Amino acid sequence: MSQVDGRYAPSPSGTLHLGNLRTALLAWLFARSQQSGFHLRIEDLDPQRSHVEHERTALADLRTLGLDWDGEPLRQSLRRERHRNAFAELRAGGHVYPCWCTRADVRNSSSAPHADAPPGVYPGTCQRLSRRERAERERSGRPVAWRLDGAGRSATFRDLLRGERSAVVDDFVLWRGDDLPAYNLAVVVDDADQGIRQVVRGDDLLETTPRQVLLAQLLELPVPRYAHVPLVLGPDGKRLAKRHGAVTLAERLAGGQLVEEVVGWLAATSGLAPSGASLRAAELLEDFDPTRISTAPTSFA
């Protein structure tokens, strides 16, 4: 693998759990094993869900695991004008349209905008409005969001762990009704501006990646390499969460585990170390081989 900068981008909406920390470790290993830069970004787009104490705890947990990063973490909320400018560029290019639909409206829709699109995507209701209908909605005072006009286009990328993937891009929200940039727009712009050329993240985001690839292409930004790593699941088969018990680093250490044992578990469940290993993050760098990473989810019990 050639040298490419990577990143980890936690959302300060809660304490990081073992699944989050495992993804962070793998992202760090991908970058540092190539002598590449590794950057942090605090994805605090939503002011209602973002809390400084969670940010502080996240950075402390990463340091405790032995992970380092270059420079100061980038705070996404301070980049609103950059996001707005990117949105304006897409709007000027005729790639967006206003949407007044609520989430309930979208859930209750039964048709899809494009024949090849998967079920459940936005059906393009507001794109088909007449001039009179659009004027009525504008007068209603209902918040307006802005969606990308996918126009039936597909996007293809090669995932380092999952192989080639291709999908039709739906008409997803770019700018929210509360005047905030949507995740997909912000992450594409921020990755490009931070010089991120390799994105390692959980495979729950695999299906949204074609959206980001198409956005990067429309904005004439570099498309990074992607590696989507498996999730850690709770005993109920759902994504790991607080309800599953002692799932944070602080809880594991309070229960008597050493940091080296936690790192060993993260590595072993990724396929990078034998079960029961006890080691430091730096010890994984020398013989790190991404082809050894398991693509199956891990059950936490």
CATH superfamily, domain 6-72+230-299, is HUPs (3.40.50.620)
Beta bridge partners of 74: 41
The pLDDT, as a whole number, for residue 3 is 76
Residues 6+ apart with CB under 8 A from 183: 43, 45
Judge whether 65 and 259 are in contact, CB under 8 Å.
yes
Give per-residue pLDDT as tens, 179-221: 999 999 999 999 999 999 999 999 999 999 999 999 999 999 9
Among residues 242, 240, 193, the alpha carbon closest in space to that of 216 is found at 193
Beta bridge partners of 166: 156
In the chain, which stretches have pLDDT less than 50? Answer: 1, 112-117
Report phi then psi at 158, rounded to 5: -110, 120
CATH superfamily, domain 81-175, is Glutamyl-tRNA Synthetase; Domain 3 (3.90.800.10)
The pLDDT, as a whole number, for residue 246 is 81
In degrees, to the nearest 5, what angle opens at C-alpha 159 toward C-alphas 184 and 207? 40
- Alpha-helical (H) ranges within the chain are 18-32, 52-65, 80-92, 103-108, 131-140, 183-193, 209-218, 249-254, 259-268
Give per-residue pLDDT as tens, 140-168: 989 999 999 999 999 999 999 999 999 99
Report phi then psi at 192, rounded to 5: -65, -45
The pLDDT, as a whole number, for residue 242 is 79
The structural domains of the chain, with segments of one domain joined by +, span 6-72+230-299, 81-175
